[in-house]
Amino acid sequence: GQNIDQPTEMTATEGAIVQINCTYQTSGFNGLFWYQQHAGEAPTFLSYNVLDGLEEKGRFSSFLSRSKGYSYLLLKELQMKDSASYLCAVLDSNYQLIWGAGTKLIIKP
C-alpha cells in the first residue's frame, strides 16, 4: 500500500528553527509537495521537490532524498503566523497526489 508518515504535532518557540519530517512509501514517485493549512482554511502551496537536494524559498526550505523516501520542511525565524498544519504529499506513478495526515505546528512566544 501507499503510505506517508509525518509527526502528528510539533511545538516550537517564536524565532527558532523547526524541521518537519516526512517519509513515504508510494507506487512510483513524480515529485513531493509541501502545503500549509491554517485552521479552518484551505491548503496553500509551499514547495515542490522532484530532484534530490535542498530548495530554499525565503524562511522556508524543503529537502528531498529519493533513495531514502524522505523529505523535510525547514522553517526558520519562526513567527506566530506560522502556527498551522503542514501537509506532505507525493505524486505517485499514476500522477495522483497521496497526502500525509499533516503535522500541526504550535508556535509559543
Report CA 5 to chain centroid distance, whole Å.
Answer: 10
Residues 4 and 70 sit within 8 Å (Cβ to Cβ): no
* C-alpha–C-alpha distance, residues 53 and 50, integer Å: 9
Q: Please, what is the minimum distance in Å from the beta carbon of residue 13 to another protein?
A: 26
Name the residue nearer to another protein (CB basis): 24 or 63.
Answer: 24
Residues that bind another protein (CB under 8 A): 4, 30-31, 33, 41-45, 48, 50, 87, 89, 91, 94-102
For residue 23, CA distances in Å to 44, 78, 87, 88, 93 come to 21, 23, 12, 9, 17
Name the residue nearer to another protein (CB basis): 14 or 41.
Answer: 41
φ/ψ of 98, rounded to 5, equals: -105, 125
Name the residue nearer to another protein (CB basis): 41 or 77.
Answer: 41
Q: Please, what is the minimum distance in Å from the beta carbon of residue 77 to another protein?
A: 25
Q: Please, what is the minimum distance in Å from the beta carbon of residue 96 to another protein?
A: 6
